[in-house]
Structure 1
């Protein structure tokens, strides 16, 4: 594929006829804006005319809201009504409500809710107290069974045959509660679109389909897209950002199936996000992946302090102390900065979190669930009274939940559920740190398309996808850390490199990589750490 200048590529994409198009767009290249411009052009040029509409499908809520906000900027209200923007679960829900009886599913069945879903998982033994190996086996068995076009009986038979005890317990718990989970909802939607009568209705209703973040799709989701938009779909994404295999995504398979339809291809290769030094490091990783090399849109606009640094520490304690000092300086220089400390596995942040807590440095912990502002405000208001009720952390939390519940309308089921979810998350951390520290670290949920708020953020590479930070710290570049010790060959290793690439591409001004010579503080456990196999590659940057 020949790559063209970014603006000309976006203009060319906007003007293309309603046919299959594949847009390969690395992070920071304006992919979402290009999709919004294409929708506007199709409507303005009357390629799509009433009563038919455009269907824009996204993988996540954030991507959905981001695309919606771009459409608001460039389309008048009447035209915006002609574009249906939804994620795959939203589309599946629409299908079930309208046509569920076609496959023997009650159209009025309750859809998954976060709080109920977490409680059902815990009831089946799938929570933070479960051994990692048992959880992984259960998740694998459930994913394999629920990402196929099969009915509920076939799912249960496959889960049972897998021998994953917790997966069987979870599936039975779901059915006894007469509930479904998010994978079930997608499976029902895909089964409905496999029915030609249903698919024909949606092909007639939607003249064009736009798909964002296509590398995150499972083959099941791709089948849903093609059932509606075969020959009329614009796919946008980047194979180098495919990091969700654990959720059923198959980037190589999905891109191969799309390319088999002989789509026109458009490449975006100009970055509007990162400084030239950061892009150089990102390009080093992209070259190893065989992915697109990026050019900086305006190299001269970046300040002189932009750069990339690699730092080595004796152990994680020394690393944590250095990170604490560096972050303090970063935020002292500019309190409005966004600083992200990113890691492959959140356990690697243990010493860093301890150092931040001991120094009373504020941060947002992305490992914790988000809390809606109403719940956060309610909890903070009642926290002093809850803390005074007891010295026992569990009793403090119980008092806090009781106080908050008494101040909410008894029929406000959604807000009560959000309170329950927040309290469950707090309860899982009480053996690590006091209630007030965990509550302070919870990340407030704002609008999904909103930028990351100023300050320090702790997160994994997967959580950081789609975000950006003025300064990015990527820690843990030891063999066994990045790449993870369980993923050292084949496609699993390739995905580890993609995770590292995603983390690096979050940074705007400055990027720092770290590793330690010893991850164990106990001398008897001392064993020299090998640097990540990609350390030298980054050192060249």
Structure 2
């Protein structure tokens, strides 16, 4: 393939704004990228285009992001674009590599050991000071010390900057400052450094040793920083030292997705980028390819509903990007109020079971909550209806015994020359460990083991499609190498099972259906969000949760914690304007028709026959008011209803779960000729299209 063809291939399929990012090869460049707008695609294609056009030397460009998973995904995409030698790393991984290389020359001796977890040393420091601590307190103190260090504070300067930090671990700021110093002393005594030290020491060496700084700047000429809204002051200082006054920098971010301020992240660097680089080019990515218009509309409304709350908070709140959905219309969001937490988890589990029974894969469903302690109720409820789940943040995929055994078996088999296609070969090898094509009927450990092995089989099939070329067939040796790299980066394949995750850990992920649970005051926003800035961050956190959904959203909350308890909980203030009937919200259904008449709407839906305003959801779905004559053959509608009844009876679900009357009327009036035409109708999502599409078209055609 010649270079011009490669360049055309790299730019093919990019929209106008993404192409602007990909073809702007000199910095400074700021990409403001909303959720689901293809930012990773844009920046990886920019890197690939720069390499193929000769502007970038692949060995002299560093792409930086914030999680090992994101870095691994970026490396995979770059490899698929033919520029696999470009480095994509986290800030910590890039700094650690430099520190390991330069330590003997700049400091001398052997690099101290790297501390994986702070808990043990913090406990030792607390013991030295005779401070009482428990496991929860130690966790909070570890987070506080990490915040202080990424904010470039010392134990001495911590006191002057921590006046509004509360009492981490139940200790006042003076005690925390003493503990901070004791922790540093214990580390020094044991010749250890922590992850924040990796950045701090690298910054110190680059700032103080001109030779080391010159070497690094000679090595890296161009920088790309993803998730720039999450940069801490320490990471920004390191980036400045890497650049050394140069401007070959591309940053990508969205201030509306800043949800890690408690770790020291700040959107300030993103918001002030134009001030720092007056000549910089800014490209906005607002075309949302992930979510339906219904999901995108709720996300936009949530951010637009925020009101001014003082100079300090307003300075950290930028005007949100107004996302424009690119997908066909989908299902309206559901809002569910329950009597107590147990009833809420049971109702959500039942709804998930219905989705799975009607074609949605379990791995494409997520339950997202504010705190990890909320997961247990949903684990029980899903187990009660026979639905598997995976807890994000639990045991890591590559640490599971069956996965480690599988990799060992495949590594051994890769030493023998086997002509069998990779997919079948992997199935044969994993068959020795209990894998079979059909999922076991039982749940528990047996099912979890099968899910792990099935994920490896699915990954093998996926990589054969992506990596097979006429010049080289993707084989078992390649697959084992890929697994080893993914294990190092903790880039796990998709496991079948509903995902249970906190809203924070869901960042960067997406699913077809998302259930946002526990949306009551005190949980969303969380009770300790007691300043305008922290409430704004809670709003952004819910925004991140909403934008994880591709097709379906369910919002739920309970009015009491326990069955029979006092119903004194209120729905989250963030639902005002989102849920039907709330202030600023769009009423749906006959029950709320009166509220709809009282409320002015920006763009009312009009009947296509008489031109009157449509007041109910059913009328808006079919595009005409109930009093106007139907524009369809009644016989077609009745045939569709009879077919729906058969489907609902066979599946033991209410008829509306298959299709509502309004959707059947829309189908009868539009008389679609093919699946594409059917998919454009409201109420016909991808799962229903796949499950019922051919049958519906056959009824329409025969009539």
Q: Which bin holds the TM-score, normalised by the shorter protein?
A: 0.7 to 0.9
1:177 equivalent among 184, 187, 190: 190
- Counterpart for residue 76 of structure 2: 69
1:87 equivalent among 90, 98, 102: 90
Check whether the contact 2:379–2:389 (CA below 8 A) recurs between aligned residues.
no
Normalised to the residue count of structure 2, the TM-score between the two structures is: 0.60
> Structure 1 residue 351: deviation in Å?
2.5
> Structure 1 residue 179: deviation in Å?
2.0
- Counterpart for residue 372 of structure 1: 398
Check whether the contact 1:335–1:454 (CA below 8 A) recurs between aligned residues.
no
1:122-521 equivalence runs, <5 A = 130=134, 132=136, 135-148=139-152, 162-164=174-176, 167=180, 170-195=183-208, 196-229=210-243, 230-257=246-273, 259-262=275-278, 263-288=280-305, 290-299=319-328, 304=330, 306-334=331-359, 336-337=361-362, 338-372=364-398, 375-377=401-403, 440=448, 447=486, 452-521=494-563
Deviations 1:121-155 (A, max 9, x none): 676689xx9364664355324421454176x9999
Deviations 1:403-458 (A, max 9, x none): xxxxxxxxxxxxxxxxxxxxxxxxxxxxxxxxx77995999697455664332011
- Counterpart for residue 628 of structure 2: none
Name the CA distance, whole Å, in 2 between partners of 1:107 and 1:257: 39
RMSD: 3.5
1:531 equivalenced with 2:571 (yes/no):
yes
Name the CA distance, whole Å, in 2 between partners of 1:297 and 1:451: 27
1:27 equivalenced with 2:35 (yes/no):
yes
Q: Secondary structure, in 3 states, of the residue corresponding to 1:80?
A: coil
Aligned length: 466
Name the CA distance, whole Å, in 1 between partners of 2:19 and 2:384: 53
Check whether the contact 2:259–2:537 (CA below 8 A) recurs between aligned residues.
yes
> Structure 1 residue 532: deviation in Å?
0.9
> Structure 1 residue 514: deviation in Å?
0.7
- Counterpart for residue 59 of structure 1: 66
Name the CA distance, whole Å, in 2 between partners of 1:161 and 1:197: 40
> Structure 1 residue 214: deviation in Å?
0.7
> Structure 1 residue 358: deviation in Å?
4.5
Q: As a proportion of its length, which structure holds more strand?
A: 1
Name the CA distance, whole Å, in 1 between partners of 2:71 and 2:451: 20
Name the CA distance, whole Å, in 1 between partners of 2:553 and 2:517: 11
How has the CA–CA distance of structure 1 residues 143 and 442 changed in structure 2, closer, same or farther, with 3 Å as cutoff? farther
Name the CA distance, whole Å, in 2 between partners of 1:18 and 1:442: 49
- Counterpart for residue 18 of structure 2: 10
How has the CA–CA distance of structure 1 residues 218 and 323 changed in structure 2, closer, same or farther, with 3 Å as cutoff? same
- Counterpart for residue 44 of structure 1: 52
Residue segments in structure 1 that go unaligned for 5+ positions in a row: 381-435
Name the CA distance, whole Å, in 1 between partners of 2:356 and 2:234: 45
> Structure 1 residue 324: deviation in Å?
1.6
Residue segments in structure 2 that go unaligned for 5+ positions in a row: 1-12, 128-132, 163-171, 307-318, 407-443, 456-482, 580-584, 587-703
How has the CA–CA distance of structure 1 residues 21 and 511 changed in structure 2, closer, same or farther, with 3 Å as cutoff? same
How has the CA–CA distance of structure 1 residues 158 and 375 changed in structure 2, closer, same or farther, with 3 Å as cutoff? farther
Name the CA distance, whole Å, in 2 between partners of 1:265 and 1:442: 48
Q: Secondary structure, in 3 states, of the residue corresponding to 1:282?
A: helix
Which range is displaced more, 531-540 or 255-264? 255-264
> Structure 1 residue 28: deviation in Å?
1.1
Name the CA distance, whole Å, in 2 between partners of 1:538 and 1:248: 31
How has the CA–CA distance of structure 1 residues 49 and 351 changed in structure 2, closer, same or farther, with 3 Å as cutoff? closer
Name the CA distance, whole Å, in 1 between partners of 2:109 and 2:289: 47
Check whether the contact 1:344–1:476 (CA below 8 A) recurs between aligned residues.
yes
Check whether the contact 1:363–1:441 (CA below 8 A) recurs between aligned residues.
no
How has the CA–CA distance of structure 1 residues 265 and 378 changed in structure 2, closer, same or farther, with 3 Å as cutoff? closer
Deviations 1:470-514 (A, max 9, x none): 100001111110000001322111111111011111111101111
Normalised to the residue count of structure 1, the TM-score between the two structures is: 0.77
How has the CA–CA distance of structure 1 residues 26 and 121 changed in structure 2, closer, same or farther, with 3 Å as cutoff? farther
Deviations 1:23-63 (A, max 9, x none): 0001211111111111122222222348x611111111111
Which range is displaced more, 214-223 or 173-182? 173-182
Q: Which has the greater radius of gyration?
A: 2
How has the CA–CA distance of structure 1 residues 538 and 16 changed in structure 2, closer, same or farther, with 3 Å as cutoff? same
Check whether the contact 2:339–2:563 (CA below 8 A) recurs between aligned residues.
no
Check whether the contact 1:278–1:509 (CA below 8 A) recurs between aligned residues.
yes
Name the CA distance, whole Å, in 2 between partners of 1:189 and 1:316: 48
Name the CA distance, whole Å, in 2 between partners of 1:374 and 1:141: 31
How has the CA–CA distance of structure 1 residues 26 and 352 changed in structure 2, closer, same or farther, with 3 Å as cutoff? same
How has the CA–CA distance of structure 1 residues 252 and 158 changed in structure 2, closer, same or farther, with 3 Å as cutoff? closer
- Counterpart for residue 416 of structure 1: none
Name the CA distance, whole Å, in 1 between partners of 2:149 and 2:343: 45
Higher relative contact order structure (alpha carbons within 8 Å, sequence separation ≥ 6): 1
Which range is displaced more, 528-537 or 194-203? 194-203
Q: Secondary structure, in 3 states, of the residue corresponding to 2:56?
A: coil
Check whether the contact 1:346–1:459 (CA below 8 A) recurs between aligned residues.
yes
